[in-house]
Structure formats: structure tokens, C-alpha cells
């Protein structure tokens, strides 16, 4: 948890700058559309930074992060984490300058998307729908929309044009125009106060394998010219949103080709959404942090020991990928994914902590995720406020006897005469070497036994 100290300390100074005037209507957009996605702490940080701007001004006075901590009533960890989330969702840009061991920041507030941009975004609107549900989403749509203008059907436009009303008396002197040209522009070190509209979130094109996609597309069915810059942007966003690889995307594109051999973007979005809902039982994706936040990562240098490599793996890998790795590369079942997703949202555990939980439970329960057992351990870790991979590993070591009782349905209390009998398999990051179970159930077939041996070999790579 010391990572933020390298990035931010209370005495660091900051100045707030607004990338264009922020309007009062933006408060409603931030409150009802963004807050469900970013949370109340991020929302409070944005609104506090905004409040530091004087009315109709773009720059604030300099301040320290210690004052910001007192204003918000939260620690520096939470401020740093909230800042990263605001940056990720496009509401904040951060610039830093270091001079003579003094560090100062500029926090550039970005205006939120307009309601129309948000509801047609293709990413944020999907995440919001999943977060708040159909009824509340429909209510917000009604709140941020109104009746169309009926003027065209019932009235005639009789508005006069500029040239119909005004005439221009221009000076004939060229020198006059040259003299006043400088007066018309803003001074060199200033800009005019105005409003800059926010760009929609765009996933970097490098995150998707377009080379593989292009190779898989039949030129006669989908010409390369159909993959325009706009289409590629949409494909990249859809691939991130719905976790679609190049092979799956190829089939989705085929269903979005129109009669002109062009890719219909709306049909592409619909096809991607239909594919995801078919694969995930009519559910939509949720906005979650895919890997352990930098704030709670402990590996700051290249890992060398096997323990450091394991921690680095758990901190830089998504829970979905860990599930796949533990299963020997096989796709996890929808039931297992749902269990992990529910724990992340209900118990508010970070991805790295979830990864430790997955490893621990899978090896303790013969490679099965039992919903009640996972939720019970997750609830315990939440109450203990576990944030880092190391903390989760240490707690699992200290409490594994209690967790063994939970899995077998026993009470946690033991008498002094009761000697615990260890029959469970434990992850390799435990201090003691895993012992063989006293009773190994007979496998129904050799394939299942081979799969289990393969998993154990994979995890042995991370043994201390």
C-alpha cells in the first residue's frame, strides 16, 4: 500500500484547471450518469476540485493535498485511487512538474459527455444499464430527454438571415485591417473562455489484434476498405466491452455487412451485444477494475524470487484469466464467473485479492468454487479490510484452520484435546509444504486425474 507515496504526498501542491467552462447542467450529468459508475468518493473529488474554481474562471489558486484531505475527510490513498478512476473514465487529466525536489500538479477537469453522447456511447451506457437496472435506466432516459420540436410540421420558418438584416461598411484601407488584426486575437499567453465538448472514451487500437482479424476476413465478403478508422474504433471498444477476440469478432462482423459491402456500425453493436447476452444468459457486462490497482500493488521492481513472481502474477492478472489458468486454459463456466463477479461487487474486494481467493478455494475444495464458501471467506476478508495480495496471503495462512472448519461445516472452536487433522490441499504460497490428503477420492476417468496433475504442476512454479 506504499505505492501512492511514490506518486503523491500531502505537501505536494496542485492547481485546478478546467478544459472549458463547466455548466450547472453538468452537475446533473455527473450525479445521475457518472456517479453510479465511479462511486461517491470519485464524485466528491471531482466536485471539490470544481468548487475551487471561481465562477466563470478556468484556473484556481494553488493548494496542497493536505488541505484536500481535510476537505474530503479521506486519506491520501483514497484520493490517489479516486484520481486514477477519474482519469480512466475521461473526467480528469493530470500533469506533474518536479523541480528542486518540489512536486506540483495541474488537475485538468474534463467536461462530462452530454446526455446524448452518454446514452449513445456504446460503452458507458451499457455499464450504467447493468449497474442500475432497466427501470432506473429508463427513468434517467426520460429525465435527460424531452419532446421533439414540432415546428417543422405545424409552423413555417420565416427567420431572416444575417445578410437580409445587416449590411457591412468596410474600411477600404488595407493598413487598417492589418492594424486591428492583432487586437482581435487573444493575447499570446491567454485563451478565450469557452466550452470544449468532451470526446467519448476510446480504447487504444493496439489492444485488439486487427492483423489476425484482417487475415480471417474473406476479401470477397468483407473488403479491407470497409474497416475504416471509425469502424476500427468501434471494434476496439466492443472487443474491450464484451471481451471479444479476433476470431469471434470476425463472425460478428459478417452479420453487420450491408448490401454495399460496408459495415453497419449500429448492426455491429447489436450483433456484439446479442453475442454476449447469448454467451452470458442475457446479462450485460459490468464495469470493474480488471487488475489490481497500481495503488495496492507491492511489486515496484522486476520480480526475482518465486514468491515475488507469484505476487506479480496475482497483481497483474485479471480474475477471469486466473480462473482460466487454474483450469489449465479452459474457459471457466458461467456459474464460476458469476460467483466471482458477485463477490467483487457485493464484498468490494480488489482483483488481486480475488485472485488469492480463487487459488485458495480451488485447491481447498478439489477444484470447485462453492458459492456459500467463497462468499463466507470473502465476507471475512472484507471485514478485515484486506486490500493487497500480501495481506490476503498472510490472512489465508493464519486462518486456514478456521476456513477448513467452514468447508467441512464444523464450528471454529476446538478443545485443547482435539488435534486438527489436515486433509486439505493448500496453495504453494503457504509457509508449510502441502501434504497429501489422507483420502484421495477415486477418479471416474484418467482425463480428470491428468488435468489435476497438470494444474498442480503449474502452481508448483510459484513455490517459495
Grade residue 56 by pLDDT with cuts at 50, 70 and 90: confident
Task: Specify whether 330 is located in the same domain as 259.
Answer: no
3-class SS at 21? Answer: coil
Task: Specify whether 272 is located in the same domain as 411.
Answer: no
d(CA 125, CA 4): 31
For residue range 355-384, what is the model confidence (pLDDT) as tens digits?
888 888 887 777 777 788 888 888 888 888
For residue range 105-135, what is the model confidence (pLDDT) as tens digits?
999 999 999 898 898 888 888 888 888 888 9
Task: Specify whether 273 is located in the same domain as 337.
Answer: no
d(CA 123, CA 219): 29
For residue range 165-211, what is the model confidence (pLDDT) as tens digits?
877 666 655 555 555 556 656 666 666 556 666 666 677 777 788 88
Residue among 84, 82, 62 nearest 72 (CA): 82
Task: Specify whether 431 is located in the same domain as 301.
Answer: yes
Domain boundary among 221, 251, 279: 279
Task: Specify whether 345 is located in the same domain as 433.
Answer: yes
If one counts every other C-beta atom within 10 angstroms of the C-beta of residue 111, the result is 20
- What's the domain count of the chain? 3
Say if 164 falls within a structural domain: no
Task: Specify whether 313 is located in the same domain as 384.
Answer: yes
Task: Specify whether 221 is located in the same domain as 259.
Answer: yes
Cell of 393: 496471503
Say if 155 falls within a structural domain: no
Residue among 114, 122, 84 nearest 285 (CA): 122
For residue range 15-31, what is the model confidence (pLDDT) as tens digits?
999 988 888 889 999 99
- 400 vs 161: which has the higher pLDDT: 161
CATH for 32: 1.10.10
Domain boundary among 249, 279, 309: 279
Task: Specify whether 379 is located in the same domain as 449.
Answer: yes
Three-class HEC string of 246-305: HHHHHHHHHCCECCCCCECHHHHHHHHHHHHHHHCCCCCCCCCCCCCCHHHCCCCCCCCC
Domain span at 220: 205-279
Task: Specify whether 219 is located in the same domain as 91.
Answer: no
**How high is the mean pLDDT of the chain?**
77
267 CB burial (10 A radius; 0-12, 13-18, 19+)? middle
If one counts every other C-beta atom within 10 angstroms of the C-beta of residue 60, the result is 20
Task: Specify whether 447 is located in the same domain as 300.
Answer: yes
User: Helix-strand-coil percent breakdown of the chain, rounded to 5?
Assistant: 50, 5, 40
Say if 184 falls within a structural domain: no
Task: Specify whether 391 is located in the same domain as 318.
Answer: yes
Domain boundary among 68, 86, 112: 112
Task: Specify whether 367 is located in the same domain as 392.
Answer: yes
Measured on CA atoms in the order 325, 326, 330, 334, is the torsion positive or negative?
negative
Amino acid at each position: 500500500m506504499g505505492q501512492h507515496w511514490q506518486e503523491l504526498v500531502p505537501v505536494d501542491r496542485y492547481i485546478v484547471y478546467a478544459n472549458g467552462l463547466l455548466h450547472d447542467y453538468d452537475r446533473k450529468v455527473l450525479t445521475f450518469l457518472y456517479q453510479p459508475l465511479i462511486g461517491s468518493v470519485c464524485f466528491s473529488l471531482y466536485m471539490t476540485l470544481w468548487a475551487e474554481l471561481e465562477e466563470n474562471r478556468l484556473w484556481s489558486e494553488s493548494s496542497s493535498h493536505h488541505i484536500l484531505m481535510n476537505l474530503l475527510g479521506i486519506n491520501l490513498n483514497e484520493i490517489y485511487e479516486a484520481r486514477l478512476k477519474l482519469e480512466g473514465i475521461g473526467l480528469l487529466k493530470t500533469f506533474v512538474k518536479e523541480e528542486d525536489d518540489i512536486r506540483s500538479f495541474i488537475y485538468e477537469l474534463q467536461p462530462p459527455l452530454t446526455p446524448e453522447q452518454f446514452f449513445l456511447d456504446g460503452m458507458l451506457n451499457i455499464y450504467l444499464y447493468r449497474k442500475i437496472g432497466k427501470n432506473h435506466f429508463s427513468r434517467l432516459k426520460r429525465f435527460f430527454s424531452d419532446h421533439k420540436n414540432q415546428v417543422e410540421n405545424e409552423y413555417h420558418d420565416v427567420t431572416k438571415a444575417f445578410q437580409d438584416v445587416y449590411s457591412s461598411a468596410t474600411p477600404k484601407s488595407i493598413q487598417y485591417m492589418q492594424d486591428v488584426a492583432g487586437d482581435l486575437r487573444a493575447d499570446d499567453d491567454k485563451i478565450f473562455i469557452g466550452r470544449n465538448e468532451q470526446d467519448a472514451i476510446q480504447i487504444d487500437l493496439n489492444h485488439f489484434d486487427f492483423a489476425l482479424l484482417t487475415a480471417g476476413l474473406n476479401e470477397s465478403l468483407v473488403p479491407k476498405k470497409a474497416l475504416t478508422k471509425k469502424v476500427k474504433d468501434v471494434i476496439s471498444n466492443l472487443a474491450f466491452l464484451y471481451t471479444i477476440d479476433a476470431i469471434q469478432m470476425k463472425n460478428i462482423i459478417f452479420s453487420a455487412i450491408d448490401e454495399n459491402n460496408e459495415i453497419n456500425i449500429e448492426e455491429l453493436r447489436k450483433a456484439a451485444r446479442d453475442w454476449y447476452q447469448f454467451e452470458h444468459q442475457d446479462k450485460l457486462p459490468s464495469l470493474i477494475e480488471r487488475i489490481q490497482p497500481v495503488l495496492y500493488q507491492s511489486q515496484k521492481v522486476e520480480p526475482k524470487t518465486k514468491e515475488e513472481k507469484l505476487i506479480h502474477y496475482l497483481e497483474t492478472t485479471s480474475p477471469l484469466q486466473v480462473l482460466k489458468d487454474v483450469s489449465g486454459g479452459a474457459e471457466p463456466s458461467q456459474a464460476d464467473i458469476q460467483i466471482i463477479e458477485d463477490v467483487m461487487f457485493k464484498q468490494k474486494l480488489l482483483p488481486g485479492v480475488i485472485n488469492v481467493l480463487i487459488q485458495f478455494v480451488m485447491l481447498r475444495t478439489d477444484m470447485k468454487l462453492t458459492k456459500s464458501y467463497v462468499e463466507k471467506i470473502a465476507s471475512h476478508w472484507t471485514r478485515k479490510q484486506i486490500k493487497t495480495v500480501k495481506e490476503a496471503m498472510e490472512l489465508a495462512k493464519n486462518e486456514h484452520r478456521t476456513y477448513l472448519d467452514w468447508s467441512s461445516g464444523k464450528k471454529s472452536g476446538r478443545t485443547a484435546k482435539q488435534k486438527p487433522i489436515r486433509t486439505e490441499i493448500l496453495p504453494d504460497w503457504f509457509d508449510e509444504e502441502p501434504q497429501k490428503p489422507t483420502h484421495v477420492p477415486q477418479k471416474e476417468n484418467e482425463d480428470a486425474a491428468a488435468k489435476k496433475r497438470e494444474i498442480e504442476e503449474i502452481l508448483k512454479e510459484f513455490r517459495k
